[in-house]
Amino acid sequence: MSEAPATVETGPRDEPPVEVDRRPWGSFERFTHNEASTVKVIHVAPGQRLSLQRHRHRDELWVALDPGAVFEVDGRRLLPEVGERVFIRAGQTHRLGSSGPAVRVLEIAFGHFDEDDIERLEDAYGRT
């Protein structure tokens, strides 16, 4: 009988380094390398926003893919340029939205990923 691997609790993770690798044809950015992560592209409809939320078990890295994204982190409202990144630590309040157009945001989650780990603090859709 095999035992489940032990879970090791660690302190806060450092913001992951984003490595740039230059090639003759251009370059690429590597956000993770050989580590467990969950990657999503979030699509936000025009003028909409997600709930104000926080997580206990994961950090998130957001990368704006379109103009018009709005990042809210711990009460700070950011209007990122395309390609701009923000790192959100477990426990920080955050919300993603659109200032008008439909937007996409790359989300990379580090740590144990579970949709039930969302603590909604405010929500326009009645899910708090």
- Cα-based distances in Å from 5 to 2, 8, 24: 9, 9, 43
Section 28-44 average pLDDT: 91
Interval 39-97: pLDDT, tens: 999 999 999 999 999 999 999 999 999 999 999 999 999 999 999 999 999 999 999 99
> pLDDT band at 104, cuts 50/70/90?
very high
> Which of 34-38, 91-95, 100-104 has the lowest average pLDDT?
34-38
**With 0-12 CB in 10 A as exposed, 13-18 as middle and 19+ as buried, what is 62?**
buried
d(CA 55, CA 58): 6
115 CB-contact burial (10 Å; exposed 0-12 / middle 13-18 / buried 19+): exposed
